[in-house]
Structure 1
Amino acid sequence: MHSSDGSRAIAWQEGFGRLGSAFLTHLQPTPLPNAQWVARSPEVASLAGLPDGFLYTDAALQAFTGNTVLPGSQPYASVYSGHQFGVWAGQLGDGRAIHLGETAAGWELQLKGAGRTPYSRGGDGRAVLRSSIREFLCSEAMHALGIPTTRALCLTASDGPVYREEAETAAVVTRAAPSFVRFGHFEHFAARDMHHELRQLADYVIDRYYPACRNGWQSGSASTGNAYAALLYEVGQRTAQMVAHWQAVGFCHGVMNTDNMSILGLTIDYGPFQFLDAFDPSHICNHSDHQGRYAFNKQPQVAYWNLFCLGQALLPLIEDEDITVQALEAYRPTFSHAFRRLMCHKLGLPSAADSHEAAVTPVIGQLLDILAASRVDHTIFWRRLSLSAQDNDYERARELFLDTAAFDRWLLTYQELSAQTGKAPDAHAMLSTNPAFVLRNHVGELAIRAAQAGDFSMVQSLQQVLSQPFVDHPAHSAWADFPPDWASSIAISCSS
């Protein structure tokens, strides 16, 4: 393996890699034959501080497939542990992710699918094209929707086979984030009573990403100078905001294990995710989730449970159970407020002030109930409601319901609430909040089928459309339409 030419202008800085051998293992990616580009994000390249035009060179293609190592990069895989489906799984780690390092612009780059690591647990360390396409597209789509997320720099494919149920095309996604530290990193050292390393990790995260936590945290009428309690509180606040966005847009993560929870409150690890088609609060998108632990309506509570696990891991540093509980409990009101605020935006109403909260909450609840009762398409309803508000004609939204009388009753309540604000629903704000396009399973599946046949054009077109989800794209209106009957048979599991 040799260094790639033409990339010497990439500047790196010390980041997570400086923590040492207890946290990671340095290693080299495993090359793949005949690499080719599938998709690229110039926006992420600019954010990460890559040299202009580098993403369009063969040097980049080879480096981001794992065939060469960029000058100055010191690749590694990190170790962590975690709870999977509510059960302690012990040591896990980057089983198919290899970090290239942190650029001088403050973005960590990571290859997913670049070969075995010491934490592969018997796996091949590879990723298949179908799941890699989904991750690349959804990472960028979520960002365009305004949802906290890791990003995707590029996606490459190789004709080297990967064996799952059958031989499949190998692929590598280059992911980008300010940090890939997970709740599970803290659990790993706490479970092993490695309190020195636990403190080292927490200090690194605080100093690098949460420096204000050094000033402590205000808890009710009392204040504490406990930086680690402040860290737990801040992570809870970010997590609450993230999950509120998921619930508002109808996003199902599918595998909210503690090792898939970002310490920065970013959506991370796009495995068996799905945007809701028919609104079903109990929808389970992960076909490996036989108990329904990660059903859509359970996501807010699962996030709290995961934060509780993080709180347990940080307790040796916080050293005060009462303060730990207070930091954790702040998640609940923050989530409720954030969700209510986002729903007000979707309805074109002013954000609910305390004085209006009692009136807004039942309007939201009633709407969710009638959406579920008629199994109304989630994305299409909200877009049609926005257009209805623009035209002051709600028939296009009404016709989506089996029980139109229930919709009429709700509409009257909605209009009365709007009248109390002194103006009609803000249709412009609604059209800027309720997307026309999300990455529906069946649309992603069509792009995957084309890509597996060697045609990457639909992946690239989808990338462009999803980067502007609030804009009508007439040439691609079918991607915003109701899913076909066969879409319900698409199975997405943890093995994808």
Structure 2
Amino acid sequence: MTLKLNIKDRFNKDLPADSIIENSRRQVKKACFSYVTPKVPSNPSLIHVSPDMLKNLGFSEADIKTNRFLKIVTGAELLPNTKPYAMCYAGHQFGNWAGQLGDGRAINLAEIEHNNKRWALQLKGAGETPYSRSADGLAVLRSSVREYLCSEAMFHLGVPTTRALSLSLSGDQVMRDVMYNGNPKYEKGAIVARVAESFLRFGSYEVFTARGDDKTLKSLVDYTINNHYSHLGVPSKEVYIAFMEEVAQRSLEMVIHWQRVGFVHGVMNTDNMSVLGLTIDYGPYGWLEGYDQDWTPNTTDSTHKRYRYGTQPQIVLWNLFQLANAIYPLIDEAEPLEKILESYHANLEVEYLKMMQSKLGLKNDHKNDALLIEDLENVLQLSETDMTIFFRNLANFKINEPEKWFKVIEDAFYHPDDIKSNIEERWDKWFKIYKERLLLEELNDDQRKTAMNKVNPKYVLRNYMAQLAIDDADKGDYKLIDELFNLLKKPYDEQIASKKWFAKRPEWARHKVGCSMLSCSS
């Protein structure tokens, strides 16, 4: 069967390629990518396919039943007239310059146009590239399940994100040290076919500025504007500034959504920041269980907690500063870039306030809303309180029954017996103020609940849920992957039949590997 896809490759046709064809680890100069062929898996098998992305790319339902589809999404066969490649980029990791990084375990297959939208199709875990450094370019089942489920779940939450087409086993065994503690073992190899308008990162531009390669930098920025920001006009100094301004705005929108749903990325290095404002590279991510501004899911970050939940908006600003430095040679003027960064800081306060007001069911501005929100964030951290359950159940609060506040949010407390004396007084005080604030709104209880339930999800991909799916998948049982995939397509709906997933993290998962904190091991 011939797959009827509209292949429209541009990145590897319009930009300079690595002149060396050999697939060896090296520093790649004056090139945006290196041609590379995926490793042929020994015995590939398909675990799951996203019906939405299947349609978005122009595949048919019949295609997924063919051996050809399986071969393409696992790298065993190339699409006709395509030349796969790995992208060159650099980055700051945990605040330090890391130099060249690049697609060490990702290979771009092709760009596909369908229904007036262009998608880049990429395989993660399909073999080594010139950027793999000392690694093998492969991925394992546990990390692949997490990326596949999470990228699609984030889309349905309304968070800008890369997407996923399929999840497959390679049939190969891959050696990994899960916690970097000297205990490596073999795991099942897996491949995610992931999709985005583009996988360009902040680091894609940093690498050329760091090397003083303004020519290649200009070619990449111009390409980005012409293909992804064409509404800004023909590339020029003014358009470069407008480009930076829009990247900042998109990045702000993205991180505000993260804060809204309680998502913590875990590895906000500049090479993991999309220039399109998409959530990219799902590694040691997690959702807040107990509301904790200092929580990070990344074991590597457990000491300094640079990428903890509460600092994510500020880290985006830090990363934007690095991007501004990267494109500065094309502008040669600091002031307009400084203004953009200053505006981000000012806009952050405004957008965060709006987001939190929506979570509390407040439609109109009030001078004391910022204080109300600050007080809430403080009292939430007095005891272990589940963020998702708290905000979802808060919608059930009734203005005429303020004394029943504990009953409304009781299920969110991991230790309800701790809510006494000072903590109980703090909550009681907050709810009294909240009631008075709600009286200033025009919405009744039912209207407010409907509005709140549109921004406060009932279901998110908690780490323990993903781990249960991983454990089953490791035994060859993929039913839970499918169940969670479909559950998370409607995260704001009640889904009564699935209410078992609207629950606090079980105690057995508190310190279990994969459920509490994770490493970057893939």
The bucket for the TM-score relative to the shorter chain is over 0.9
The verdict on how the C-alpha distance between 1:408 and 1:204 changes in structure 2, with shifts beyond 3 A counting, is: same
Once residues 24 and 347 of structure 1 are traced to their aligned partners in structure 2, the CA distance between those partners, rounded to angstroms, is: 46
Q: Give the alignment partner of residue 471 of structure 1, picking from 493, 496, 499.
A: 493
Task: Supply the AA of the counterpart residue of 1:56.
Answer: K
User: Quick check: 2:150–2:461 contact (8 Å CA) kept in 1?
Assistant: yes
Shift of 1:92: 0.6
> How does 1:227-246 map onto structure 2 within 5 Å?
227-246=239-258
Task: Supply the AA of the counterpart residue of 1:493.
Answer: S
Task: Supply the AA of the counterpart residue of 1:430.
Answer: M
Structure 2 equivalent of residue 421 of structure 1? 441
TM-score (norm 1): 0.93
Q: Give the alignment partner of residue 10 of structure 1, picking from 5, 14, 32.
A: 5
Once residues 190 and 274 of structure 2 are traced to their aligned partners in structure 1, the CA distance between those partners, rounded to angstroms, is: 24
Structure 2 equivalent of residue 220 of structure 1? none
Determine whether 1:397 maps to 2:408.
yes
Q: Give the alignment partner of residue 121 of structure 1, picking from 106, 110, 133.
A: 133
Q: Give the alignment partner of residue 428 of structure 2, picking from 408, 412, 421.
A: 408
Task: Supply the AA of the counterpart residue of 1:107.
Answer: W
Determine whether 1:306 maps to 2:306.
no
User: Quick check: 2:43–2:171 contact (8 Å CA) kept in 1?
Assistant: yes
> How does 1:82-481 map onto structure 2 within 5 Å?
82-105=91-114, 106-164=118-176, 165-214=184-233, 226-289=238-301, 290-350=303-363, 352=365, 356=366, 358-389=367-398, 394-399=405-410, 400=413, 402=419, 403-424=423-444, 426-481=448-503
Secondary structure of 1:263's aligned partner: coil
Secondary structure of 1:493's aligned partner: coil
The verdict on how the C-alpha distance between 1:391 and 1:41 changes in structure 2, with shifts beyond 3 A counting, is: farther
Once residues 212 and 497 of structure 2 are traced to their aligned partners in structure 1, the CA distance between those partners, rounded to angstroms, is: 58
Structure 2: gaps spanning 5 or more residues = 18-30, 177-183
The verdict on how the C-alpha distance between 1:331 and 1:49 changes in structure 2, with shifts beyond 3 A counting, is: farther
Shift of 1:146: 0.4
Q: How many residues align?
A: 480
Once residues 12 and 396 of structure 1 are traced to their aligned partners in structure 2, the CA distance between those partners, rounded to angstroms, is: 57
Q: Percent identity?
A: 41
Once residues 194 and 351 of structure 1 are traced to their aligned partners in structure 2, the CA distance between those partners, rounded to angstroms, is: 50
User: Quick check: 2:5–2:57 contact (8 Å CA) kept in 1?
Assistant: no
Secondary structure of 2:381's aligned partner: helix
Once residues 313 and 305 of structure 2 are traced to their aligned partners in structure 1, the CA distance between those partners, rounded to angstroms, is: 14
Once residues 158 and 135 of structure 1 are traced to their aligned partners in structure 2, the CA distance between those partners, rounded to angstroms, is: 16
Shift of 1:52: 4.6
Once residues 394 and 300 of structure 2 are traced to their aligned partners in structure 1, the CA distance between those partners, rounded to angstroms, is: 34
Task: Supply the AA of the counterpart residue of 1:35.
Answer: P
Structure 1: gaps spanning 5 or more residues = 217-223
Shift of 1:391: 9.9
Secondary structure of 1:277's aligned partner: coil
Task: Supply the AA of the counterpart residue of 1:494.
Answer: C
Secondary structure of 1:25's aligned partner: strand
Once residues 397 and 377 of structure 1 are traced to their aligned partners in structure 2, the CA distance between those partners, rounded to angstroms, is: 13
Q: What is the CA deviation profile of residues 358-397 of structure 1, one whole-angstrom value per residue up to 9, with x for unaligned ones?
A: 2211111111111111221001101111233599663433
User: Quick check: 1:215–1:225 contact (8 Å CA) kept in 2?
Assistant: no
Shift of 1:130: 0.2
User: Quick check: 1:144–1:468 contact (8 Å CA) kept in 2?
Assistant: yes
Task: Supply the AA of the counterpart residue of 2:79.
Answer: L
Shift of 1:110: 0.3
User: Quick check: 1:243–1:299 contact (8 Å CA) kept in 2?
Assistant: yes
Q: Give the alignment partner of residue 20 of structure 1, picking from 12, 16, 19.
A: 16
Shift of 1:488: 2.1
Once residues 161 and 238 of structure 2 are traced to their aligned partners in structure 1, the CA distance between those partners, rounded to angstroms, is: 28
Once residues 63 and 391 of structure 1 are traced to their aligned partners in structure 2, the CA distance between those partners, rounded to angstroms, is: 60
Q: What is the CA deviation profile of residues 436-487 of structure 1, one whole-angstrom value per residue up to 9, with x for unaligned ones?
A: 1100011111110000011011011100001111122333322221111222
User: Quick check: 1:111–1:172 contact (8 Å CA) kept in 2?
Assistant: yes
Segment drifting more, 329-338 vs 385-394:
385-394
Once residues 25 and 326 of structure 1 are traced to their aligned partners in structure 2, the CA distance between those partners, rounded to angstroms, is: 36
Once residues 119 and 161 of structure 1 are traced to their aligned partners in structure 2, the CA distance between those partners, rounded to angstroms, is: 22
RMSD of aligned alpha carbons: 1.8
Structure 2 equivalent of residue 219 of structure 1? none
Once residues 76 and 315 of structure 2 are traced to their aligned partners in structure 1, the CA distance between those partners, rounded to angstroms, is: 39
Task: Supply the AA of the counterpart residue of 2:275.
Answer: I
Task: Supply the AA of the counterpart residue of 1:130.
Answer: R
